[in-house]
Amino acid sequence: MIAAAFFDLDRTLMAGSSGLHWARAARSNGLVSRRKMAAYAWKNVVFRLRGSTDEETDAVRAEVAGMLEGVRVRDLQRLAPKVLAGVLPRLYPQMLAVAYEHQDAGRPVYIVTAASQDLASVIAQIVGFDGAIGARYEVVDGLYTGKDAGIFTYRDGKPLAMRELAAEKGIDLEASWAYSDSESDMPMLRAVGHPVAVNPDPDLARVAREEGWEILRFEQLGRRLKAFGAVGAAALVGGAGGAANRSRIARRAPQPAPGWSTRLRRK
């Protein structure tokens, strides 16, 4: 048997959510309204800062399934270039380097994501991974029905799909690695012998510290916002301090004697 490495996609292999770029492409083809697009953009910012919850994931899953109902498979396949144009620049070079180190050591690497199987497979092929596990949706007569087809690859669904792949490929999960950012992927991380937390949300970061897992951090948005906030606060403090100093200087400066200006005018 062989060891392998499994990588979550959003906030792990890439900054932010692949779903945002799918929504942008769908918006350009009239599948997503402007209001929903604005909501997706805001959710992406929140996701980059703190991850997602089960409730949010279920809501997005239901919304995507509803959008897919009656849509031709071919039409979604044609969105791929636009989606990839947004996703590929967001990939973390550091994580690709980690993945390639696994491959060079003889371990196959796979994407494991709640994003669609089609998207995950295309990304895996482009970056040179050995395969991908993603969410599958039912297709009848070339149209999506809006129903799931198989395991939904989220939370407990990820290790189930990983075990299926392991049985097929002869992979020893106990000797394998898994990388993810979210507490929701604890089942995925615990399914392998070498779990790694990447840009972890607070709950995962706590568990990783307690368990002594490796932690990698590449996400910059939170740090930039903190830095921006610090700079803004410093500017406010500096401005307030400057005003206070000017006020103190004005109070300390010698004041002209009464009638001083009058005497000048008389001269």
Active site residues: 8, 10
How far, in Å, CA of 263 to CA of 171, rounded?
99
CB atoms within 10 A of CB 149: 13
How far, in Å, CA of 72 to CA of 66, rounded?
13
Q: Which two tokens stand for residue 234?
A: 């410093």
> What pairs with residue 2 in β-bridges?
171
Contact 6, 112 (CB under 8 A): yes
From the list 98, 88, 136, the residue with the least C-alpha distance to 5 is: 98
CB atoms within 10 A of CB 141: 7
